[in-house]
């Protein structure tokens, strides 16, 4: 009897936390068969930091979506419809990761308001304006570049979460990740198909190739900054196999997206001495 009462209390706590989402965007946990946190091991401080940072990358999606929509996506009904769903799903990922982290350890340490400010910074205020100008100048090639980035990011996130599943084994976060990965795979399929269709035009292909080779940086390295990026990737990449997993994203870019000479992850891992040759 006593056990039952304490179970329902922890359930209530979880659903209360669920409503505490950044900027008041409550997205709920309806799609996830959430289990009570008992039986999971708590996250270490370092692991908690990794989860906080990837949750931040997830919730910055709303600002990334502005860029795609401002850069021609709003005029493309298929893209606009996808983007609306995508924002909700990515926000939910960030929120669920925070809940799963909080379910096993010190959730109260995470300052949601500070994270919302960081997410705005990650999106950068100028990006939508730059996207609008770029769209005027290069047309569909901008959206093609955005979708190339989308596919590379989704594939990177999937590989990152697969690494996290292993490194965080036994935690509630590791239990949640396969659910999120399934949704990321659907995002990946959309971006890949859209990029490949937009890149049928030669000019779109050339410009988006150049974008991917010269400007794209893995897992929000350019917006997170090197220190935060290393907190995530430095923790996850400990062996040659770990590095190989992330390098697989480069091969995906070359083989499935057709980006000639793409080595985004390889360059970033080398530059940060994580290449394990």
Q: What residue ranges bind Fe ion (CB under 5 A)?
A: 58, 90, 93, 154, 184, 187
Identify which of residues 65 and 138 has a Cβ nearer to Fe ion in the complex. Answer: 65
**Shortest distance, position 266 Cβ to Fe ion, whole Å:** 23
Question: How far apart are CB 54 and Fe ion at their closest, in Å?
Answer: 9
Minimum separation from the CB atom of position 186 to Fe ion (A) = 8
Nearer to Fe ion, 132 or 256 (CB): 256
Q: Cβ of residue 157: shortest distance to Fe ion, in angstroms?
A: 6
Choice between 156 and 207, CB closer to Fe ion: 156
Q: Least distance from C-beta 184 to Fe ion, angstroms?
A: 4
Identify the residue whose tokens are 């799963």. Answer: 100
Q: How far is the CB of 260 from Fe ion (least distance, A)?
A: 25
Q: How far apart are the first and last CA of the chain?
A: 57
In 3-state terms, what secondary structure has residue 126? coil
Nearer to Fe ion, 58 or 242 (CB): 58
SS3 of 224-277: HCHHHHHHHHHHHCCCHHHHHHHHHHHHHHHHCCCCCCCCHHHHHHHHCCCCCC
Between 138 and 163, whose beta carbon lies closer to Fe ion?
Answer: 163
- Which two structure tokens, joined as six digits, stand for 68? 């795609």
- What is the DSSP annotation of 179-216? HHHHHHHHHHHHHHHHHHHHTTSHHHHHHHHHHHHHT-
Q: Please, are residues 101 and 173 in contact by the beta-carbon 8 Å criterion?
A: yes
Longest CA span, the chain? 69
Shortest gap between Cβ of 180 and Fe ion (angstroms)?
6
Nearer to Fe ion, 105 or 156 (CB): 156
Residue 139's SS3 state is: coil
Smaller CB distance to Fe ion: residue 175 or 205? 175
Question: What does the DSSP 8-state code read for residue 71?
Answer: T
Return the exposure string of 208-241: e unless at least 16 CB atoms fall within 10 Å of the residue's CB, then b: bbebbbeebbbbbbebbeeebbbbbbebbbeeee
What is the per-residue burial (b if ≥16 Cβ within 10 Å, else e) of 120-150?
bebbbeebbeebbebbeebbbbbbbbbbbbb
């Amino acid at each position: 009897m006593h056990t039952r009462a304490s179970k329902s209390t922890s359930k209530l706590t979880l659903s209360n936390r669920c409503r505490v989402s950044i900027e008041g965007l409550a997205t709920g946990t309806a799609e996830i068969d959430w289990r009570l946190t008992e039986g999971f091991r708590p996250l270490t401080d370092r692991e908690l930091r990794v989860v906080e940072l990837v949750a931040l990358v997830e919730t910055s999606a709303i600002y990334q979506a502005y860029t795609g929509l401002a850069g021609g996506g709003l005029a493309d009904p298929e893209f606009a419809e996808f983007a609306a769903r995508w924002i909700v799903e990515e926000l939910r990922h960030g929120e669920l990761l925070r809940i799963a982290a909080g379910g096993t350890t010190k959730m109260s340490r995470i300052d949601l308001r500070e994270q919302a400010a960081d997410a705005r910074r990650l999106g950068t205020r100028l990006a939508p304006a730059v996207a609008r100008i770029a769209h005027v100048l290069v047309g569909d090639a901008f959206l093609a570049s955005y979708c190339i980035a989308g596919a590379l990011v989704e594939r990177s996130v999937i590989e990152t979460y697969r690494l996290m599943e292993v490194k965080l084994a036994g935690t509630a976060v590791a239990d949640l990740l396969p659910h999120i990965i399934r949704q990321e795979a659907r995002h990946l399929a959309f971006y890949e198909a859209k990029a490949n269709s937009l890149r049928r035009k030669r000019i779109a292909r050339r410009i988006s190739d150049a974008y991917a080779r010269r400007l794209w940086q893995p897992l929000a390295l350019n917006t997170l900054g090197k220190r935060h990026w290393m907190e995530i990737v430095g923790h996850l990449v400990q062996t040659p196999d770990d590095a190989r997993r992330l390098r697989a994203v480069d091969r995906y870019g070359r083989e499935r997206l057709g980006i000639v000479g793409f080595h985004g992850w390889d360059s970033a891992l080398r530059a940060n001495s994580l290449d394990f040759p």
